[in-house]
Amino acid sequence: MLDRRGATPGHKTCLQALIVSGSMLCLGQGASFADHHQADGGHDSHVQHQADSGHDSHAQHQAGMEMAPSVQPADVKLLNLPVLDQTGTALNFVDDVVGDKIVVFDFIFTSCTTICPVTTTLLTRSRADLQDVAPDRLQFVSLSIDSNNDDPERLARFAAQRSADWVFLTGEKRTMDELLVALDAYTTNPEDHAPMIIIGDAATGTFSRHFGMPNPDMVTRRVRELLQARAAQHDHHAGH
Ligand SMILES: [Cu+2]
């Protein structure tokens, strides 16, 4: 397992997903990145689909604005397993990290050169939009999907480089695998991971899974919906 990193030259699945999602969300210079790659010949069916549907960049841009990444309710289990954060502090996943907070989980590995850095940067925008929410109510959590290589030090560097001020977790490979399987976020080969985040309320067990590169506005909206649902619940109880 230790020799896996660096052995795969292409990081292909990750990169293809980035091309598709990047275009959908109009990252950076709109569709130009995807267009460039399409011109090289898109073998991926999604890329092909985009090539068929978007003739001018403006139309593609608008389509991108309206197209939400696919979302589905998530059946996740939160296991109270021992993990390490980026400062090397030993924590229990449920007791010390998740609690009964509203949580945003994403899944990263520090040697990723495509999706993970972008996902992290996108999430910092949502995190900034949510600064008003008290830290005991909301927690962003990035879990390493490459715990063999991602030690706390590497996680700290990865987070700092992107000004990500939330919790990054790694741990023993076996433990992390168990945690990731329970979140349905386990990938045998980190290089093949698809972009996916989970947003939910640990107090109510309401979770949703969001595929594709995270749209910061969507993340912020979903978190606020969950906060409102809590407030409504609270008012309801208070009224009786
Ligand atoms: Cu990646």
Tell how far the Cα of 233 is from the centroid of ligand 1, in angstroms.
37
Average pLDDT score over residue span 226-233: 91
Q: How many Å lie between the centroid of ligand 1 and the Cα of residue 117?
A: 7
- Asked whether the predicted pLDDT for residue 26 surpasses 80, the reply is no
pLDDT number for residue 176: 98
Question: What average pLDDT does this structure show over 128-142?
Answer: 97
What is the distance in A from the centroid of ligand 1 to the CA of 119? 8
At 71, the pLDDT band (50, 70, 90 cuts) reads: low
Mean pLDDT on 169-190:
96
Domain residue limits, the chain: 12-66, 71-238
Q: How far is the CA of 189 from the centre of ligand 1 (A)?
A: 11
Whole-angstrom CA distances from 120 to 24, 196, 228 are 17, 12, 25
pLDDT band at 69 (very low <50, low <70, confident <90, very high): low
Query: Pairing relation of β-strands 138-144 and 167-170?
Result: parallel
pLDDT band, residue 236 (cuts 50/70/90):
confident
Q: What is the mean pLDDT of residues 92-116?
A: 97
Partnered with residue 210 across adjacent β-strands are: 71, 197
Q: What percent of the chain is modeled with pLDDT above 90? A: 62
CA of 16 to the centre of ligand 1 (A): 11
Write the burial class of residue 162 (CB in 10 Å: 0-12 exposed, 13-18 middle, 19+ buried). Answer: middle
Q: How far apart are CA 110 and CA 13, in angstroms?
A: 17
CA 35 to centroid of ligand 1, rounded, Å: 21
Please tell me the distance between residue 167's alpha carbon and the centre of ligand 1 in angstroms. Answer: 18
Average pLDDT value for the chain: 78
CA angle 227, 121, 76 (to 5 degrees): 45
pLDDT bin (cut points 50, 70, 90) of residue 127 is very high
Q: Would you say 87 and 152 are in contact if contact means Cβ atoms under 8 Å apart? A: yes
CA 113 to ligand 1 centroid distance, Å = 7
From ligand 1's centre to the CA of 208, what distance in Å?
A: 20
Q: What is the reported pLDDT for 11?
A: 41
Q: Which helix (H) or strand (E) holds 22?
A: helix 12-24
In angstroms, what is the span from residue 212 Cα to ligand 1's centroid? 12
Distance 182 CA to ligand 1 centre (A): 20
Q: CA-based Rg of the chain, rounded to a whole angstrom?
A: 18
Asked if the model's pLDDT at residue 22 lies above 90, the reply is: no
**How high is the pLDDT of residue 211?**
92
pLDDT band at 12 (very low <50, low <70, confident <90, very high): very low
Q: Which CATH number does 71-238 carry? A: 3.40.30.10
Q: Tell me the mean pLDDT in the region 18-43.
A: 36
- pLDDT of 240: 57
Flag whether pLDDT at 231 surpasses 60: yes
Range 144-166 average pLDDT? 97
Instruction: Compute the distance from residue 15 Cα to the ligand 1 centre, in Å.
Output: 8
